[in-house]
Structure 1
């Protein structure tokens, strides 16, 4: 089914979740009517509650809106004056207080004013769907469902949809398609059970994590070290995650579960009264939103990070805990370890994985939905059944039996096998009937991981590979850590250009990884500096310039498919592509000045060309260099793909894909379209302002320095950047070629990298991940 269209959506409830849901709908380019109650003060703005929510989101970090233009699509209103405008809307999302009586009263009011067939959904995660629709008119029940967004809605990809036997299946599909294509969600169909999928398993995991840490005498740091990276779980682990979501939320969730779960459910056996947690909440230690939580920053002691003792209840200096390397890299070895860390790992994960296996098909039809919900709802790298495969289903079942625990039927059913397998390049999953079926992919979803299971690469080295992704399109994949660009990547890209020229129609640059590329490999650069291998560094700069220009002028189109970070050299790759298909969450920027350098692989010239040739750009030698200087000198990074367009890191003609799983397919489609009658671009020529422009930029930088905004070394770096952007010794009457600009980049880059402050910046960034202001 094609992507469903929505002309207008109404969100009722302008609290944190409701407002953020409205923002994400607006990010999709759809108009939103955001309604809330009247303010308590008579004479106040009747739509002030919703209006204040919009204003608050414009100041929130991380930002709910992808651009200021999106914010303008949200219109504030109130449920007394504006509820009748629901007739204009195709979908109404309720996100009000979690009270059944209040929700049902609102639904009856909505039913009186909506158009027949308008979808009505609740964002609840605690009230069963059957209770929500009990006693409601049949027509309303037919159009009603639960759409459970995860917080924050812009960044969390999971959307759980729950339908009742009464719900119109076509309407559910319409909402699912819109949520997939336009809101960028991975839609998981959940059943009407307490907590649905992710919260049901996730809160069980958290409860066991807390219990076992107390029972086994672990510190919060030790518990989080075990329940984090070794299992592919975010480093927040258990206690860090509780601090993040809010400790005061857990009693409400647990109470809801206790009231709705059957008496024999394993979740109820894990529930305990916690005097420590009750005291923390009463004292305002509710996590990051409060005075702190299991961790806090003691400002009176000079911003010292502290953690609470689970037995004593007293705070003390937080000490970093680590899991031995040989155990951290192998979950199987970790749960087999007999020390307290190993016992903790097994106690928590053994119980959690067994619980997940016991819930299928009660909470979802298959294991694929459960794994997707945990990956996307709790940011696990692997879902419960993928983790079971990593540990060995038979071994886990045997360990459970050894401990006297019940082995779920589905786990027994896996027997000697696994929950997932690959047959003839097709990934299959074990169904509840014991038969294997293909893991479904929605039309328009293309994953490089699937392709890599069916064929060998055309080319490969330790940092990159070239793949045939079908339809005559090749895909160049970065595979280094953080996809940092090194010499092997550049060399393989050069070879790949020749292969594509001979055998393919176009090239896509893409990776399934979280980030497109964090930039050049600074660690290798610093090593070369430390041994004074200046010739090797200049060679790498020249190689990068030569390779990216060869890509730009290749006789076939190149499409860069960005997602996550595309910084420094990664940004320069995108700037040299014929087109970019960007995931909406692409954070793009030339950040070299932040480490005391200037862009060295042609980024300056590409940005000059974009600002000069932009529609409506002012004429003259200074506007384009001035804009580029303003952006690059302060290492500006876009906060979304939409913002990247306003910064000219992306062109107006570049595409934006909301759903990450659709990015490669969209990029391949774009490449195919460009391949028809493709002609490479012509090298640009520039008229740049020369010494006068450089002086103007220097004066601007000095002004920032006097204000304390720019450091002493910032002035040195800014001068190097200004020299490139203004054409060096050229005058406005001179023609500056692309080759001239590359030479200026190399000169400025090599001069700066030899300075002590720049080397200090590089080392500090590598050690801390943060910029050094020196």
Structure 2
């Protein structure tokens, strides 16, 4: 049979199963979603209802409405024979061994030979699942443990049994990696696999220590959150998020399958307060509240539960934790250091003890926790910050066992850089190169053994091989300022002389938050209008220099690419976007208009869109609607629908493959490259401006736009309709840039715009003035 997975079946339309089906559809692959029959009048009601629910869910499981159309619904009784058309069957039904085994017996009769069958179980050993099945079924079986929500959580733990066919496991792994965007961690067939085993232990240890040491919820989360590289929810906030009622199930699952001498058995006892909370319906965010709650009867007051009394009280800000790193944190005096050590000492020791029983190397443990629990650092990376010898000594001094791999490390680190190559300490006591999967190229790896060709305070230029240079933004939130524009100016002659193409890419948390608003508000406050105009004009010059450079430019966005970050996409020859790209021209939300060419570039996209009627007004109206409402795409697929990406632009599902894909696109464009011709527009003039004014007044009358929204939209309308131009006039790109600068400089002087900018910087929320 072909190695390609062309159709997938997911059985079980609960939250996880439906989410897995949605991510398959996001990959552009048809998927059959089956569940039991609950309604004889609508036998597919369970699966149909799951798809309908996902179309309304936020954050959305589907990347676009088009993806939802790739899901075919059915039921197990009538449609099981359809799995014969599928290349991979994912079982995601309730965690009951008897039901799973019964389903596998039915599948064996209808699936085609060689079809992969996997279970999304997180609790049942693979060996138990395949008891009684044929050798052929056992060969085609594996566990694929996705994390919730499947669209957004990158980790996929794959467990292969001794009889699993290696080629089939690779086929599923490659599909999940390249088309579903997952990072694969190969786990052993042990209880809880890796992430949930370490994660459950960590949560249990943190809860127990908070009760034992008499900490408040706020204090515990302040210590066991950001200072440890854990998401800001901390531990109690995380339990509220996933559901307090899940805790007894996780505990029971692990205690019933782990050996009695496993360290988890000694700590696995939930505080009585948790049982009382569950009984009362206080199960976290999905219930009446959890360790945190919003008391709506008290004016939406934020409250936390008192761990001693079980009563709610007003939330209290915890004292700031000032430790510079985790080594200093566990050594801090008082309850800060006491609690940090109680959590980390136990958790890191436990994680270290899972090599090689749960994972072959330290890499699997670290990747699982970073990807499955959003830790900034894996357990062994945290140990390196403390020192393996320091951790081992403290454990030994307290009479606690020292894991073998800690003794093996001695006074060495688990990771090191050698000759520009990142290495890890193996179980053989030797260091080994970290080898990336084929098609994975990371700028962080390149930078270990290279120096930038250009470096300013906000950007750098790197050689990423094969004649391609990479422009990297490096400022806070990758915000764009004069230093970023200087880097572009300095990079163009270097790339022209020595390279074939350029990609614009970085490995920050987000591609770019847009123009540096902090710098802008400072300039506003001292009335440095000439400096602001210089930044606007400089950005226009830099972006157009990239657009018309004698080499192709490919932008590779991910996460947020807003305002000026979006405009660099619009000015590029092509875009290779990560699937999770959220982009838009959001300037109107802060009382401004796009000033670096975004209006003209988006207008040029829409006037060539065959879906719109001919003539100057339809494209103008579409761009006006998108920009005036500060619309942001919720995915790269939606960015195509909004015109921020071209139909020909690429989408990469796996974040780690983005640079390699962008580089390949840039090299393909380099063959016979010619810069684009400057566009010339025919715009509707005063008549079109009047029509847009009427639309804005309608929005204001319905309470959808504020009075100042109308003012800002008026300036935007003036740009998009060509200013003073009549219908018959032609408007050049330079004319539009001049209109942008003029409008921007008028708005930036308005106190209402200044209030909006200050508010967004202080609160992160738009001001509706």
Match of 1:197 among 194, 197, 204: 194
8 Å CA contact 1:4–1:177 kept in 2: the answer is: no
User: How far apart are 1:404 and its partner, in Å?
Assistant: 2.3
State the alpha-carbon separation in 2 of the partners of residues 84 and 174 from structure 1. Answer: 23
Q: 2:577 matched to 1:582?
A: yes
How far does the alpha carbon of each residue in 1:202-248 deviate from its partner, in whole angstroms, 9 at most, with x for none? 11100011011111121111111111111221101101110111111
Matches within 5 A, 1:542-621: 542-621=537-616
How far does the alpha carbon of each residue in 1:147-166 deviate from its partner, in whole angstroms, 9 at most, with x for none? 00000000000000001101
Q: 2:30 matched to 1:5?
A: no
Q: 2:178 matched to 1:156?
A: no
Matches within 5 A, 1:579-728: 579-728=574-723
Q: 2:296 matched to 1:309?
A: no
State the alpha-carbon separation in 2 of the partners of residues 63 and 190 from structure 1. Answer: 29
User: How far apart are 1:438 and its partner, in Å?
Assistant: 1.0
User: How far apart are 1:769 and its partner, in Å?
Assistant: 1.0
What residue is the counterpart of 1:536 in the other structure? 531
Task: Report the secondary structure of 2:234's partner residue.
Answer: coil
State the alpha-carbon separation in 2 of the partners of residues 201 and 144 from structure 1. Answer: 25
8 Å CA contact 1:4–1:178 kept in 2: the answer is: no
What is the alpha-carbon root mean square deviation over aligned residues?
A: 1.1
State the alpha-carbon separation in 2 of the partners of residues 159 and 212 from structure 1. Answer: 30
Deviates more, 1:579-588 or 1:310-319: 310-319
User: How far apart are 1:260 and its partner, in Å?
Assistant: 0.6
State the alpha-carbon separation in 1 of the partners of residues 613 and 316 from structure 2. Answer: 56
Q: 2:88 matched to 1:91?
A: yes
State the alpha-carbon separation in 2 of the partners of residues 198 and 158 from structure 1. Answer: 9
Match of 2:344 among 349, 364, 388: 349
Aligned length: 768
Please list every run of 5 or more consecutive structure 2 residues that lacks an aligned counterpart in the other structure: none
Task: Report the secondary structure of 2:674's partner residue.
Answer: coil
User: How far apart are 1:283 and its partner, in Å?
Assistant: 1.0
Deviates more, 1:526-535 or 1:402-411: 402-411
The change in CA–CA distance for 1:4 and 1:444 in structure 2 (over 3 A counts) is: farther
User: How far apart are 1:617 and its partner, in Å?
Assistant: 3.5
Match of 1:208 among 205, 210, 222: 205
Task: Report the secondary structure of 1:34's partner residue.
Answer: strand
What residue is the counterpart of 1:126 in the other structure? 123
Task: Report the secondary structure of 1:381's partner residue.
Answer: coil
Match of 1:758 among 753, 760, 766: 753
Matches within 5 A, 1:484-523: 484-523=479-518
8 Å CA contact 2:208–2:271 kept in 1: the answer is: no
State the alpha-carbon separation in 2 of the partners of residues 748 and 334 from structure 1. Answer: 51
User: How far apart are 1:416 and its partner, in Å?
Assistant: 1.4
User: How far apart are 1:4 and its partner, in Å?
Assistant: 5.1
State the alpha-carbon separation in 1 of the partners of residues 247 and 692 from structure 2. Answer: 54
Task: Report the secondary structure of 2:282's partner residue.
Answer: coil
State the alpha-carbon separation in 1 of the partners of residues 640 and 674 from structure 2. Answer: 24
User: How far apart are 1:433 and its partner, in Å?
Assistant: 1.5
8 Å CA contact 1:29–1:70 kept in 2: the answer is: yes
Task: Report the secondary structure of 2:31's partner residue.
Answer: strand
8 Å CA contact 2:485–2:538 kept in 1: the answer is: yes
Task: Report the secondary structure of 1:82's partner residue.
Answer: helix
User: How far apart are 1:135 and its partner, in Å?
Assistant: 2.0
Matches within 5 A, 1:98-113: 98-113=95-110
User: How far apart are 1:403 and its partner, in Å?
Assistant: 2.3
User: How far apart are 1:742 and its partner, in Å?
Assistant: 0.6
User: How far apart are 1:402 and its partner, in Å?
Assistant: 2.3
8 Å CA contact 1:4–1:175 kept in 2: the answer is: no
User: How far apart are 1:503 and its partner, in Å?
Assistant: 1.1
What residue is the counterpart of 2:22 in the other structure? 23
How far does the alpha carbon of each residue in 1:487-541 deviate from its partner, in whole angstroms, 9 at most, with x for none? 1111111111121111111111000112100111111100110111111111100
State the alpha-carbon separation in 2 of the partners of residues 106 and 616 from structure 1. Answer: 46
User: How far apart are 1:324 and its partner, in Å?
Assistant: 3.4
Q: 2:465 matched to 1:465?
A: no
State the alpha-carbon separation in 1 of the partners of residues 640 and 739 from structure 2. Answer: 26
Task: Report the secondary structure of 2:191's partner residue.
Answer: coil
How far does the alpha carbon of each residue in 1:349-372 deviate from its partner, in whole angstroms, 9 at most, with x for none? 121111110110000111111111
State the alpha-carbon separation in 2 of the partners of residues 623 and 4 from structure 1. Answer: 46
Deviates more, 1:270-279 or 1:649-658: 270-279
What residue is the counterpart of 1:379 in the other structure? 374
Matches within 5 A, 1:736-751: 736-751=731-746
Q: 2:169 matched to 1:182?
A: no
What residue is the counterpart of 1:336 in the other structure? 331
The change in CA–CA distance for 1:273 and 1:229 in structure 2 (over 3 A counts) is: closer
8 Å CA contact 2:88–2:115 kept in 1: the answer is: yes
Task: Report the secondary structure of 1:310's partner residue.
Answer: coil
What residue is the counterpart of 1:48 in the other structure? 45
Match of 1:136 among 133, 139, 151: 133
State the alpha-carbon separation in 1 of the partners of residues 219 and 435 from structure 2. Answer: 39
Matches within 5 A, 1:43-82: 44-82=41-79
State the alpha-carbon separation in 1 of the partners of residues 104 and 251 from structure 2. Answer: 27
Q: 2:388 matched to 1:389?
A: no
8 Å CA contact 2:747–2:753 kept in 1: the answer is: yes
The change in CA–CA distance for 1:4 and 1:238 in structure 2 (over 3 A counts) is: farther
Matches within 5 A, 1:265-276: 265-276=262-273
**Could you tell me the TM-score, scaled by structure 1's length?**
0.98
How far does the alpha carbon of each residue in 1:697-731 deviate from its partner, in whole angstroms, 9 at most, with x for none? 11111111111111111111111111111111111
User: How far apart are 1:578 and its partner, in Å?
Assistant: 0.4
8 Å CA contact 2:325–2:385 kept in 1: the answer is: no
State the alpha-carbon separation in 2 of the partners of residues 72 and 695 from structure 1. Answer: 39
Matches within 5 A, 1:478-489: 478-489=473-484
8 Å CA contact 2:222–2:321 kept in 1: the answer is: no
State the alpha-carbon separation in 2 of the partners of residues 297 and 404 from structure 1. Answer: 44
**Could you tell me the TM-score, scaled by structure 2's length?**
0.99
User: How far apart are 1:693 and its partner, in Å?
Assistant: 0.9
Task: Report the secondary structure of 2:620's partner residue.
Answer: helix
Matches within 5 A, 1:208-247: 208-247=205-244
Q: 2:30 matched to 1:35?
A: no
The change in CA–CA distance for 1:107 and 1:343 in structure 2 (over 3 A counts) is: same
Task: Report the secondary structure of 1:761's partner residue.
Answer: helix
8 Å CA contact 2:550–2:674 kept in 1: the answer is: yes
User: How far apart are 1:323 and its partner, in Å?
Assistant: 2.7
What residue is the counterpart of 2:257 in the other structure? 260
Match of 1:168 among 131, 149, 165: 165
State the alpha-carbon separation in 2 of the partners of residues 656 and 418 from structure 1. Answer: 38
State the alpha-carbon separation in 2 of the partners of residues 367 and 159 from structure 1. Answer: 17
8 Å CA contact 1:9–1:32 kept in 2: the answer is: yes
State the alpha-carbon separation in 1 of the partners of residues 4 and 276 from structure 2. Answer: 49
State the alpha-carbon separation in 1 of the partners of residues 319 and 643 from structure 2. Answer: 43
How far does the alpha carbon of each residue in 1:616-665 deviate from its partner, in whole angstroms, 9 at most, with x for none? 43221211110000101000000000000010000000000000000000
8 Å CA contact 1:356–1:384 kept in 2: the answer is: yes
User: How far apart are 1:484 and its partner, in Å?
Assistant: 0.8
State the alpha-carbon separation in 2 of the partners of residues 64 and 746 from structure 1. Answer: 40
8 Å CA contact 2:294–2:303 kept in 1: the answer is: yes
State the alpha-carbon separation in 2 of the partners of residues 274 and 337 from structure 1. Answer: 26
User: How far apart are 1:322 and its partner, in Å?
Assistant: 4.3
